[in-house]
Structure 1
Amino acid sequence: MSTHSIPRPRALLADDEPHLLRVLQDRLHELWPELEIVATAPHGIAAAEQIERLQPDIAFLDIQMPGLTGLEVAQGIEGATRVVFVTAYDEHALSAFEHEAVDYVLKPIRAERLQLTVDRLRRVFADCFEASSQIEDEPSAVVPSLPDAAQLAKVLAQLMPHAASAQPMLRHLRASRGNTTHIIPIEDILYLQSDEKYTMVRTAEHEYLIRSGIMELASQLDPQRFWQVHRGTMINVDQLLSTRRDDNARLFLQMRGHERELPVSRAYVHLFKAM
């Protein structure tokens, strides 16, 4: 008989509304004291980076976040992190959550509904821990995988159209170079890179600055054209010339008319698998 003790599950919480993030954290402390909250993230970019670095067991992701939505963060998860979406979606969109691959919590967060998710997660982790213990005692035992990647992909495909922003996409940016303000057509942009409170806009000819954060801009850019590839870096896929992997399997991008290569964070490498 196994005598292993059950480890504390680890969770990350991501929401761009600080009040709601605190509410979720407090509710989880009350309903699941054993849960260890290893990090919180105020937006999608930070959530993706933290998940890649910490590999938590669970990620509670707000669907509508700047920079990267919760859906886009979920797409980039490469480890065994289980996804729980926090959403204000209507009942029609929620039909996609019927799969066991993901759970969801509705806003405003109610303790009774969160309790159902906590109970399900507790059962899943208890079952997986029991199976893992059997592997040590009985090598022929099979450990179930926590997230079902195929089901999660299907859920995300169903939800993506609902997450499309109603805000019209930008056709050009107003950016400064020296004392002059320039109007830059979106199609001319190679990539955007955050610089503290500014965003650097790179074209084949020049660099410009915008007095807006990259997360604010991201919500107004076509997600089919502009992809997050690294912390604070978004590229215009239409301007991508080639990709290259080094000896350590790290991925680098070459943009048209630009000598310097751009590194791709491991969390976003999956975007280029078909290329």
Structure 2
Amino acid sequence: MSYTALIVEDEYLAAEELRKMLVAHSEVEVLGIADALPAAIEQIQRLKPQLLFLDINLRGASGFDLLEQLDEAPLVIFITAYDQYAIKAFEVSALDYLLKPINPQRLAEAIEKLKKQLLPEEANPTRLSIDKRIFIKDGEQCFFVPLAEVFLIESVGNYARMYYGNNKPLLHKSLNYLEEKLPASHFFRANRQHILNIEYIQNIQAYFNNTLMVDLPGGRKVEISQRQSVKFKEWMGI
């Protein structure tokens, strides 16, 4: 099985050296090299690589800035000369973290992790699949958020707060935007303020004016509006 990758590195010699090292790993197909954030975004959107070899320090930006601008996060192997970024990189669940100059053995280990953890390709390009992850940079914190673990999304002005586990990072996307991107098999628009993951509904009960009230993890309750309650009942067969 082959895997597609994009190298995002602003040092030409370092990028070419990595490309040459990857020749020994025929299962990895390098689609291209991007040396700055705009070029990287354009190539990611056009080529849709499964993996990024991502330099943390880019010209005028950072690898974290790049991830923040993507609708969904590919698997990422961070590459940098500065090991103080290691903790932050793994806080966002990077596949691996390689220090320059890259050690061939460490690269081989990273490729093995790729084989074990690569997620399936998206079948419907207009929506994310439930096994995808999205990257969120909330202040100084960074998160790779597995959609399957998100039980509630709440509108906060033009942003959206995503609840999963004990985390609730703020995503710089609107609820309307997310409604068009999230897998309709799992996420349901309950009202103007909330989208919920039906897999996490713990209880459903009738509420005022033909609405429904659902219980979610952490003691959270969400009211499904009158209009959406009709759709919800039809969808759930209740």
TM-score (norm 1): 0.44
- 1:242-263, CA deviations, whole angstroms, 9 ceiling, x for partnerless residues? x9xxxxxxxxxxxxxxxxxxxx
Q: Which residue of 2 aligns with 1:153?
A: 136
- CA–CA separation in structure 2 for the residues paired with 1:56 and 1:47: 11
State the AA in 2 paired with 1:101: S
SS of match in other structure, 2:111: helix
Q: CA deviation at 1:123?
A: 1.0
If asked which structure has higher relative contact order (CA below 8 Å, sep 6+), I would say 1
Q: Identify the match of residue 47 of structure 1 among 40, 43, 55.
A: 40
SS of match in other structure, 1:145: coil
Q: Identify the match of residue 27 of structure 2 among 21, 34, 45.
A: 34
Q: Which residue of 2 aligns with 1:96?
A: 88
- 1:67-110, CA deviations, whole angstroms, 9 ceiling, x for partnerless residues? 432111111121352222111222x4312333573122111111
Q: Which residue of 2 aligns with 1:19?
A: 13
Q: CA deviation at 1:51?
A: 0.7
Q: Which residue of 1 aligns with 2:100?
A: 107
- CA–CA separation in structure 2 for the residues paired with 1:156 and 1:115: 34
Q: Which runs of 4+ in 1 moved over 3 A?
A: 97-100, 152-159, 270-274
The 1:45–1:95 alpha-carbon spacing in structure 2 relative to 1, beyond 3 Å, is: same
**Structure 2 runs not aligned, ≥5 long:** 124-128, 143-157, 159-170, 176-238
- CA–CA separation in structure 1 for the residues paired with 2:5 and 2:139: 21
Q: CA deviation at 1:156?
A: 8.8
Task: Output aligned runs, 1:1-275, within 5 Å.
Answer: 6=1, 8-30=2-24, 32-90=25-83, 92-99=84-91, 101-102=93-94, 103-125=96-118, 128-129=119-120, 145-146=131-132, 148-149=133-134, 152-153=135-136, 157-158=140-141, 271=172, 273=174
Corresponding pairs, count: 141
SS of match in other structure, 1:153: strand
Contact 2:9–2:34 (Cα < 8 Å) also in 1: yes
Q: CA deviation at 1:58?
A: 0.8
Fraction of identical pairs, as percent: 29
The 1:145–1:49 alpha-carbon spacing in structure 2 relative to 1, beyond 3 Å, is: same
- 80-89 vs 54-63, which moves further: 80-89
- CA–CA separation in structure 1 for the residues paired with 2:139 and 2:17: 26
TM-score (norm 2): 0.51
CA RMSD of the aligned region, Å?
A: 3.2
- 1:6-50, CA deviations, whole angstroms, 9 ceiling, x for partnerless residues? 4x21111011111100111111221x2111111111212211111
The 1:22–1:155 alpha-carbon spacing in structure 2 relative to 1, beyond 3 Å, is: farther
**Structure 1 runs not aligned, ≥5 long:** 1-5, 136-142, 160-242, 244-269
